[in-house]
């Protein structure tokens, strides 16, 4: 991914006759998408290989921002994310366990441009994301007649993220930029709760986690934005 970013950077810097800048009154419409899939297999002795964990991750985050001044923009982002882990178990790998998580988020954001050139921009961004969704445990096995038996349990989740981080934009055309982000510093919280049979009853369960952190090494992303006067 980093090689692709460097190639794009070199190509974009060679473009000429680009004179657009982010200035007061500019409307920025953009977004990013992330897709990640991976799988593995495990072999025990001379037996047939058994599928190992399979991971699937999808995130979509469109946003709209408005420049209040030549260097300062505010806006809102609406995101969708899904994540799943599938594992095989049982004596012959005939039991399938799948954990799924889907969520929607609402993120007010602000961006300040430290460098606002007609070819290259460097900025810092602040976002406050609030999300909600579901977490599902799904269990699939075969009965004596080889019929699938599927059972699942769904739990509600809520998240909050406050993050600040650097980024850069490269002009690909007079009204199009290629945007990069390079990690973040901030706070995140995660809450999982199950109301049980009746809200407020003794079988209610709740799990909470949260903390501050810096994420530089594994947080590199990019997207496309359109600049409208």
Contact 179, 32 (CB under 8 A): yes
Tokens representing residue 12 in the block: 């974009």
pLDDT, tens digit only, all 229 positions of the chain:
444 444 344 444 433 344 557 889 999 999 888 777 777 666 655 565 666 678 888 888 899 999 999 999 999 999 999 988 877 655 555 667 788 899 999 999 999 999 988 889 999 999 999 999 998 887 776 666 666 666 778 899 999 989 999 999 999 988 899 998 887 888 989 888 876 545 555 556 677 777 887 766 556 678 899 999 8
pTM: 0.72
**Collapsed DSSP state (helix, strand, coil) of residue 142:** strand
**Collapsed DSSP state (helix, strand, coil) of residue 151:** strand
Tokens representing residue 201 in the block: 């009853």
- Could you give phi then psi for residue 11, rounded to 5 degrees? -70, -40
CA-CA distance, 159 to 143, in Å (whole number)?
38
**DSSP symbol at 2:** H
CA-CA distance, 123 to 116, in Å (whole number)?
8
Contact 69, 79 (CB under 8 A): no
């Amino acid at each position: 991914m980093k090689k692709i970013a460097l190639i794009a950077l070199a190509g974009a810097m060679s473009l000429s006759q680009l004179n657009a800048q982010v200035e007061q009154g500019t409307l920025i419409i953009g977004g990013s998408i992330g897709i990640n899939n991976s799988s593995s297999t495990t072999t025990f002795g001379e037996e047939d290989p058994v599928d190992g964990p399979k991971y699937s991750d999808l995130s979509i985050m469109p946003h709209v921002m408005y420049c209040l001044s030549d260097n300062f923009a505010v806006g809102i982002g609406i995101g969708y994310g899904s994540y799943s882990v599938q594992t095989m178990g049982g004596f012959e790998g005939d039991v399938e366990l799948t954990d799924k998580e889907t969520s929607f988020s609402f993120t007010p954001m602000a961006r300040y441009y430290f460098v606002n050139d007609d070819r290259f921009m460097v900025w810092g961004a602040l976002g406050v994301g609030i999300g909600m969704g579901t977490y599902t445990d799904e269990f699939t096995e075969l009965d004596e007649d080889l019929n699938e038996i599927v059972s699942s349990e769904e739990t509600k989740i809520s998240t909050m993220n406050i993050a600040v981080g650097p980024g850069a934009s490269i002009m690909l055309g007079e009204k199009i930029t290629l945007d990069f982000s390079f990690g973040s510093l901030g706070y995140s919280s995660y809450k999982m709760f199950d109301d049980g049979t009746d809200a407020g009853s003794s079988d209610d369960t709740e799990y909470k986690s949260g903390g501050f952190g810096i994420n530089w090494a594994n947080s590199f992303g990019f997207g496309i934005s359109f600049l409208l006067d």
